[in-house]
């Protein structure tokens, strides 16, 4: 039983990481109306930048901040160089472009850092024992960080002027323009936010596992599955679905084996698309 | 200091839908444009607001030529439109709909939100007061915190008016504000429009419903088949035989 619970806790942690990345995906989708396939690679950028920051200072907090900043920057640069010029074209153009951006990021990271795996050299900490449950202090920190990040994103969206404008543009871009809302500022903010959230997911994933140029790309299927399951364009849904998916994957591991736990994400993705395309929490899409 | 429509022209395949239309809306005036179906009113409205590019002519507002400006630039210049079928940010509350339209906030930038929270907060407090006043003025207090998508069509028209006010518009362009609105609310809308006009806000109203409009405006322009056929005070214009002809012809078609 305790083994089962430990799997569930570990699933919760990876679920929060998936949920964060799904949030990054869904944020962009809600406003820009396409699935950004480079989301995983934004994660990877964040992880490598955090490695740099951590290596230079030895502080994981500084490392994390550098990672967040790098993610925000990559998001904004992608928008300014690529997605801005594709606005108004069919969304498949933006989707294909995002796949391309992902390739470029992976290639650059591969050339600079090689394809080997790197780790955050964090000191080993003895796990806490709660009854006969082992809890890794790092897991707890990862979980808390993820929850704080979610809270911040939620507050930005619902309690700040820029968040209000993001939601306004998501609802009706044309009405936003004739209300004098400049789309440029809103989109820049959106891409910065999405990039930073993805980067944080990457940093947390890197701490939990290893950092490699393909780490984020390989997460893309569960991240897509979570975004779709949560109802695409729905931030809270993305998180909850991510957690659900993470826990399911971990709990299923003893039964289906490590290799096939990823297949679970595929199955869920397919099932949702076939049975309930709106997702669990989806609303009828407000595309006019 | 006026809105000047200077020879706007739009043709589709040789057919002039709007042909050399020119008139002025003095600042703070209440002006209406009427005409039978197919007169070119809606096309004219789209040309004035920048939703369509004119083949010829210009629009200038407060001395500034806006003929090539985007709809957003025209809105930022102080000339804001509403829609015949009301549009709203449906997932945002009525209050948020109004707040979103307030211009020039530091809160437009994500970076200020995190690094200059004090300034963003002060500006937010100012526009929140303005939004609250606007909500009271439009009698929307009961639904202020309801998602705008759940409102009735008439209430949405009031929200549109509120959104236009929050932008700080000096000229509001209303596209058939009375279409599909019940008589009680038409009266209510008319009263609000008159009050706002009293505060110096100019209105250009394009409308099919003659009865509601002629009581409201001081000047009426009548369009038929793309051209202006009459202009003047409502009573005088409506007595014009050409106008009667156009309307009867329009109704018979």
What would the pLDDT profile of B202-244 be if each residue is shown by its tens digit? 999 998 878 888 889 999 999 988 899 989 898 888 888 888 8
A35 falls within a domain: yes
* DSSP character at residue A82: I
Question: Which pLDDT does position B92 carry in this prediction?
Answer: 93
Distance CA A43, CA A203 (A): 7
Domain containing residue A98: 2-116+136-275
Please state whether beta strands B2-12 and B56-61 pair in parallel, antiparallel, or not at all (unpaired): antiparallel
Tell me what pLDDT residue A285 has. Answer: 46
Return the percentage of chain B with pLDDT > 90, whole number: 51
Could A193 and B110 be called an inter-chain contact, meaning their C-beta atoms sit closer than 8 Å?
Answer: yes
Q: Which residues of chain A have pLDDT under 70?
A: 1, 258, 281-288
pLDDT average, residue stretch B163-172:
92
Q: What pLDDT score does B248 carry?
A: 63
d(CA B55, CA A128): 75
Query: Given CB atoms, is A193 within the 8 Å cutoff of chain B?
Result: yes
Is the separation of the CB atoms in A197 and A149 below 8 Å? yes
What pLDDT is stored for residue B252 in this prediction? Answer: 43
**B81 lies within 8 A of chain A by CB:** yes
Kindly state whether B170 is in contact with chain A, defined as any CB-CB distance less than 8 angstroms.
no
User: What is the four-CA torsion angle of B43, B45, B46, B49, rounded to 10 degrees?
Assistant: 160
Edge-to-edge strand order for the sheet containing B202-206?
B79-81, B171-175, B202-206, B30-34, B219-224, B227-232
Angstrom distance (rounded) from CA B103 to CA B98 = 11
Report the distance separating Cα B185 and Cα B160, nearest Å: 14
Q: What is the pTM of this model?
A: 0.86
Taking an 8 Å cut-off on Cβ atoms, the answer to whether B87 and A286 are in contact is no
Instruction: Map tokens 């009828």 to a residue.
Output: A284
Q: Which residues have CB under 8 Å from B9's CB, separation 6+?
A: B16, B18, B19, B20, B21, B54, B55, B56, B57
Q: Does the residue A288 lie in any domain?
A: no
User: Which CATH number is A22's domain given?
Assistant: 1.10.3470
User: Which residue from B minimizes the CA distance to A172?
Assistant: B89
Which pLDDT score, from 0 to 100, does residue A24 have? 95
Provide the pLDDT for residue A27. 92
How large is the ipTM?
0.85
Token pair 């009706």 is found at A172
Report d(CA A269, CA A222) in Å as an integer. 8
- Both tokens of B103, joined, read 């211009």
Flag whether residue A156 sits within 8 Å of chain B, measured between CB atoms: yes
A161 with B87: Cβ contact below 8 A: no
Q: Across the interface, do B101 and A160 touch by the CB < 8 Å criterion?
A: no
Query: How many distinct structural domains can be found in chain A?
Result: 1
Whether residue A284 lies inside any domain: the answer is no
Q: What is the DSSP string of B62-127?
A: TTEE-TT--HHHHHHTTEEE--SS----TTSBHHHHHHHH----GGGSHHHHHH-HHHHHHHHHHH
Which residues does chain A have within 8 Å of residue B91's beta carbon, measured at their own beta carbons? 167, 170-171, 283, 286
Q: Is residue A241 part of a domain?
A: yes
Enumerate domains of chain B plus CATH numbers.
Answer: 23-52+68-88+156-252 (3.40.50.300), 90-150 (no CATH)
Q: State the greatest distance between any 2 C-alpha atoms of chain A, in Å, as a whole number.
A: 61
Residue A126: inside a domain: no
Instruction: For B35-83, write each residue's pLDDT tens digit.
Output: 888 888 889 999 999 999 999 999 999 989 998 899 999 999 999 999 8
């Amino acid at each position: 039983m305790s083994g089962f619970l430990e799997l569930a806790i570990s699933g919760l942690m990876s679920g929060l990481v998936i949920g964060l990345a799904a949030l990054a995906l869904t944020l962009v989708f809600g406003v820009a109306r396409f699935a950004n396939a480079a989301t995983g690679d934004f994660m990877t950028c964040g992880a490598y930048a955090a490695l740099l920051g951590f290596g230079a200072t030895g502080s994981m907090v500084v490392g994390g901040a550098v990672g967040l900043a790098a993610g925000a920057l990559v998001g904004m640069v992608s928008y300014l160089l690529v997605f801005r010029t594709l606005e108004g074209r069919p969304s498949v153009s933006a989707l294909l472009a995002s796949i391309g951006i992902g390739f470029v990021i992976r290639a650059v990271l591969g050339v600079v850092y090689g394809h080997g795996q790197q780790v955050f050299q964090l000191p080993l900490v003895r796990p806490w024992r709660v009854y006969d449950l082992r809890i890794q202090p790092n897991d707890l920190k990862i979980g808390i960080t993820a929850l704080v990040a979610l809270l911040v994103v939620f507050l930005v969206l619902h309690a700040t002027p820029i968040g209000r404008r993001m939601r306004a543009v998501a609802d009706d871009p044309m009405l936003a323009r004739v209300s004098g809302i400049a789309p440029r500022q809103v989109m820049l903010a959106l891409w910065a936010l999405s990039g930073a959230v993805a980067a944080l997911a990457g940093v947390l994933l890197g701490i939990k596992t290893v950092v490699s140029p393909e780490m984020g790309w390989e997460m893309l299927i569960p991240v897509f599955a979570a975004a779709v399951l949560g109802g695409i364009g729905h931030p809270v849904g993305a998180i909850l679905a991510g957690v659900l998916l993470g826990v399911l994957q971990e709990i299923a591991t003893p039964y289906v084996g490590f290799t096939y736990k990823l297949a679970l994400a595929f199955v869920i993705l397919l099932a949702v698309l076939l049975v309930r395309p709106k997702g669990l929490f989806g609303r009828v899409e407000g595309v006019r | 200091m006026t809105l000047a429509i200077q020879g706007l022209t739009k043709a589709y395949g040789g057919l002039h839908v709007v042909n050399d239309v020119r008139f002025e809306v003095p600042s703070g005036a209440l002006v209406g444009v009427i005409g039978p179906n197919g007169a070119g009113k809606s096309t004219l409205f789209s040309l004035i607001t920048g939703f369509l590019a004119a083949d010829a002519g210009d629009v200038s507002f407060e001395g500034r030529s806006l003929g090539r400006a985007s709809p957003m630039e025209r809105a930022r210049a102080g000339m804001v439109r509403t829609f015949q079928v009301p549009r709203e940010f449906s997932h945002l509350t009525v209050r948020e709909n109004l707040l979103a339209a307030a211009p020039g906030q530091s809160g437009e930038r994500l970076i200020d939100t995190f690094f200059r929270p004090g300034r963003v907060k002060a500006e937010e407090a100012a526009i929140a007061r303005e939004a609250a006043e606007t909500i009271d003025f439009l009698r929307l207090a009961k639904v202020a915190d309801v998602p705008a998508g759940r409102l009735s069509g008439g209430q949405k028209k009031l929200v549109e008016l509120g959104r236009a006010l929050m932008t700080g518009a000096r000229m509001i362009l209303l596209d058939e504000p009375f279409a599909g609105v019940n008589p009680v609310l038409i009266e209510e809308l008319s009263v609000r429009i008159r009050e706002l006009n009293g505060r110096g806000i100019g209105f250009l109203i394009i409308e099919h419903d003659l009865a509601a409009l002629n009581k409201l405006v001081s000047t009426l322009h009548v369009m038929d088949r793309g051209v202006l056929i009459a202009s003047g005070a409502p009573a005088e214009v409506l007595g014009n035989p050409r106008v009667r002809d156009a309307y009867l012809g329009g109704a018979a078609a």
